[in-house]
Amino acid sequence: MYNVITQLFFFLCSASLLYTQKIELSTPLEGIAGKDFFIVNYVDHDSSVNAIKDYQCGTQTYDGHQGTDFTLRSFAQMDSGVAVLSAADGVVFHVVDSLYDRNKVSIVERGFGNWIGIAHEGGWRTYYAHVRTNSALVKPGDRVVAGDAIALVGSSGNSTDPHLHFEVWKIDTVLHDPFGPGSCGVQPSSLWKNQLPYDTEYKVIDYGLLNWVPTLDTLRERPTPPTSFALPDSVVTFWIHQQGLRTGDVIRVEWRRTVDNALWFEYEFPVSEQDWWYHYFWTYINLPPSDQYVVRYFINNREIIAREFDVDGSNAVEDETPVTGISIRYLPGDWNILSLTQTGNTPPSTLSLTLFDQSGKRVGKLYTGEVNSERTFIDLAPLKLSAGLYFLQIVEKAGIGSTLPIFVSQ
């Protein structure tokens, strides 16, 4: 009965960077940036622990990351076969491709998993990590030229999602970030033939509706969308996969009936903890009465998505007064309160609110009672919650409900 806001990261390392004789690199995988793959993490240029800086002094990296992560949309896309390409002419010096390639959790010890190494003139070396099982098209000693397909993108080793982790070294002792120049990088000029732009704009990678409650892993696989919503479906799920969410951004989701724009449920919460460069979010409502609806997704009051859907043949609450608009807001930090309001000229609603932790364990009943146009505040402090993700289940008297994520930060 819950849903999740989810945040994924990738993996590892630390760097001292020097400039030496140049190498000219081409993009090490096929496809178009921002469409077929997304740069999720650059090299971390901040050597202190728990501090990060990409080459432009931004946050598009994680602590100790030594490479560039080119990440696919999904495992379904990985299955279609996306080629890893040699970034420059050279000689293959290492090939491993026998390891499992559908990892979805970060286990540092797994390292590169399947990887290919190529030696280039001038003592340069490039590394292509996490490739697919049995996908290597080269063997040690093979000569390759820039752009040759050498394997397929996978998720072997320490990897949560299908991606190519690409590293550039000089004589194996000095790590290079191929991107430059940048205020926090060390490369006076780019090592790329055509450097992909540094793009920190918010973007939607994918989104959709489902008639069941997904998990992070099922979303990563990209489930087939339903053709309609009707009993025996019990829920309507909205999910989104996005890049470039910033700390302090406010997400808002509105569920409305199309005919009169009546608000079903609305909630808001601020993005916290960090900026997110590969982020899944989902939420769902119980199946509403037969009608046409729209779910609207906003960031900082800017509408990002409006997705309509029909519900047919639901008799769950056909004869009940429809749910009246409820706006729910979580205020984090020192506040640590939920704020409930009824919007519009509708009679008060009776709601029951229950909090669950990530494992689905019931933390406690938060509230049962009326919500009207006066704000109702629920103080979460007495619960002494540890920081992390929780799910708030909201059930209205007619059985209509919604479940939404609450990220408690302390």
Q: Which residues does residue 285 pair with via DSSP β-bridges, in sequence order?
A: 236, 402
The residue sitting closest to Zn ion, measured at its beta carbon, is 165
Residue pair 402/265 in contact by the 8 Å Cβ criterion: yes
Residues 154-173 that bind Zn ion (CB under 5 A): 165
Cα end-to-end distance, the chain, whole Å: 25
Tell me the C-alpha distance between 188 and 177, whole Å.
Answer: 11
DSSP state at residue 102:
B
Interacting span for Zn ion (CB under 5 A) from 63-71, 84-92, 185-193, 385-393: 63-71
DSSP state at residue 29:
B
Nearer to Zn ion, 29 or 299 (CB): 29
Q: Can you say how many angstroms the Cα of residue 78 is from the centroid of all Cα atoms in its chain?
A: 16
Q: Which residues does residue 283 pair with via DSSP β-bridges, in sequence order?
A: 238
Nearest distance from residue 12's CB to Zn ion, in Å?
7
Q: Which of 69, 254, 268, 396 forms a contact with Zn ion (CB under 5 A)?
A: 69
Interacting span for Zn ion (CB under 5 A) from 62-70, 187-195, 259-267, 348-356: 62-70
Nearer to Zn ion, 11 or 229 (CB): 11
Tell me the C-alpha distance between 68 and 334, whole Å.
Answer: 37
Interacting span for Zn ion (CB under 5 A) from 7-15, 216-224, 274-282, 351-359: 7-15
Instruction: Please report whether residue 130 would count as binding Zn ion according to CB under 5 A.
Output: no
Nearest distance from residue 112's CB to Zn ion, in Å?
9
Tell me the C-alpha distance between 286 and 320, whole Å.
Answer: 15
Nearest distance from residue 165's CB to Zn ion, in Å?
3
Nearest distance from residue 183's CB to Zn ion, in Å?
22
Locate all alpha helices (DSSP H) within 160-229, ordered by sequence. 216-221
Nearer to Zn ion, 10 or 239 (CB): 10
The DSSP string of 55-73 is: TTSSS-S-TT--SEEEEES
Nearest distance from residue 38's CB to Zn ion, in Å?
13
Cα distances (Å, whole numbers) of residue 50 to 4, 16, 188, 246, 274: 25, 17, 26, 18, 12
Interacting span for Zn ion (CB under 5 A) from 6-14, 78-86, 255-263, 301-309: 6-14
Nearest distance from residue 392's CB to Zn ion, in Å?
34
Instruction: Please report whether residue 67 would count as binding Zn ion according to CB under 5 A.
Output: yes
Nearer to Zn ion, 65 or 257 (CB): 65
The site for Zn ion (CB under 5 A) is made up of: 10, 67, 69, 165
